[in-house]
Structure 1
Amino acid sequence: MDGIFRAALALARQSKRARAAAGGLAALLALAAVSACNTGNVLALEPAVDVGAQTAAVPQYSGMQRLVPSNPYMTQAAYPRMDEPMSPVEQMPASETDCRQQLRRLGATFTDLAPIHEGQCGIDYPVKVTAIGSVEMKPAATLTCDMAASFAAWTKNELVPSARWRYFSGVRTIHQGSSYSCRNIAGEGVLSEHGKGNALDVMSIELNNGDDIDVRKPGLFAFRTRGFLNNVRADGCQYFTTVLGPGYNYDHRNHFHFDIKNRKSGYRACR
């Protein structure tokens, strides 16, 4: 009987030690798990540093390394600041791009110029037109794209066919006297459409057959020239909001003035 009691007592003591060892092991595993999930000092009860959305608010202590993107495409070179101005080409509105495509369809030869700004005058997106199809522009005209497109359409659809019908000849050169020019309307304190790049003055029209048709009022018996110039003036009213020429006033005695001034109710001044 005494042997059985001693054996039972020894077994109980071994079970107690096993439970204590198991409990200690569990505590150590729990402590390791907490340490793995916490960037602070667990034993000293120091809080971990948040490196998430609030990182910018965490002071940059000495010895801390500033966070940088791990993706090389997320650098400043790949993603420039959105508040920095873009280049003029990137900023060109769709309407200006479409207008240049129209100019090319009309056969115009042109180059884009840097923006022009001088006082109250200027053109945001100027073009310099040197030719319309086979028709040279002398000197080259600096205009808004809209004015250049209007003039190119008039030249191609009206001026050239009229010259062929009246003179049996094509047009070689359009001699212009003023495109962009920063000035007021003569005798008035109002900015001229020339100062906006919306106007062009035609002085003479040179034909392939050698004729040079001056816009000045033709002589009494110059029937063909008068008919041609009358066509030029009348047809221009379909493309421009202003057409002024000889007979309107003294300032327009020697040229045709064409412009695309924005007028209310679609009014056109053709005189």
Structure 2
Amino acid sequence: MRNDRDRPMRNMVALGIFSILLSACGAIPGGRGEPVQRPATSAGIGVFDPSPAARQCFTELGKANVRFSPLPNRQFSGGCSQIDSIKLLDVGADVTNLGPVKCELAGKFAAWTEYAVKRAARKYLGSDLLRIETMGSYSCRNIAGSGRLSEHAHANAIDVSAFVLTDGRRITVENNWKSGHREMLFLTAIHDSACKRFGTVLSPNYNAAHRDHLHLDMSGNGYCR
């Protein structure tokens, strides 16, 4: 019969082994000091192999208190892909309908939300931001009217359609781009800020296909319409 006095020693040994195994897994910070383990993958689905730039991006998001979950790299037919992508869990406001996004884009989006959208909502609309509504991020498709893949096909774009405030108001790109003085000032301010953060920003001023949303992506070199 085992002596119960040996149990603490056995527990300490087991804990030491577990700690060694955990450190070997390479946990990645997921924001707010919480470790996010590498996502489990299956053959043919994806491999978790982020680039050095992505690993640095994960660290920076964690320091900014952005909660997220890293995703495995995936290649799809037709040239579509999700490389160095994450699932955003919390950017300080609710965000609807958002799928995989490249880490760099996610970082810019989180900063835009915190330092542009929230501040503009308080300044021009006198209320705090509750939620950002989007039309999605990743989508394996071409640019409308062309044969070239959209940045959405690489999880490198987000389409933002509306903003909901804590007082219940809902500001939409479609209805307020040219309607309502304060609402227009708000949308103009966040559009101008977006142009300083993202590679390409397309608004209703660009064409009819963007009448109801702001397209934000990391391609281009400050193209803003």
**Structure 1, gaps ≥5 residues long:** 1-86
Q: What is the rounded CA distance, in whole Å, between the counterparts of 1:137 and 1:178 in structure 2?
A: 10
Aligned length: 179
Shift of 1:111: 1.1
Cα RMSD (Å) of the superposition?
Answer: 1.8
Q: Which residue of 2 aligns with 1:268?
A: 222
Percent identity over the alignment is: 32
Segment of structure 1 superposing worse, 109-118 or 247-256? 109-118
TM-score (norm. length: structure 2): 0.74
Q: Which residue of 2 aligns with 1:14?
A: none
Shift of 1:88: 4.8
**Candidates 65, 85, 97, aligned match of 1:126:** 85
> Is 1:248 matched up with 2:206?
yes
What amino acid is the match of 2:223? Answer: A
Shift of 1:122: 0.5
1:144-165 per-residue CA deviation (whole Å, 9 max, x = no partner) reads 1011011111111111111111
1:94-127 per-residue CA deviation (whole Å, 9 max, x = no partner) reads 2211101111223322112222211201022220
Q: What is the rounded CA distance, in whole Å, between the counterparts of 1:126 and 1:103 in structure 2?
A: 13
Shift of 1:182: 0.7
With CA pairs under 8 Å and 6+ residues apart, which has the higher RCO, 1 or 2? 2
SS class of match (1:200): strand
Give the ranges of 4+ consecutive aligned residues of structure 1 lying more than 3 Å apart after TM superposition: none
> Is 1:110 matched up with 2:68?
yes
**Structure 2, gaps ≥5 residues long:** 1-45
Shift of 1:191: 0.9
Shift of 1:248: 1.6
Shift of 1:168: 2.2
TM-score (norm. length: structure 1): 0.62
SS class of match (1:235): helix
Q: Which residue of 1 aligns with 2:194?
A: 236
1:17-68 per-residue CA deviation (whole Å, 9 max, x = no partner) reads xxxxxxxxxxxxxxxxxxxxxxxxxxxxxxxxxxxxxxxxxxxxxxxxxxxx
SS class of match (2:171): strand
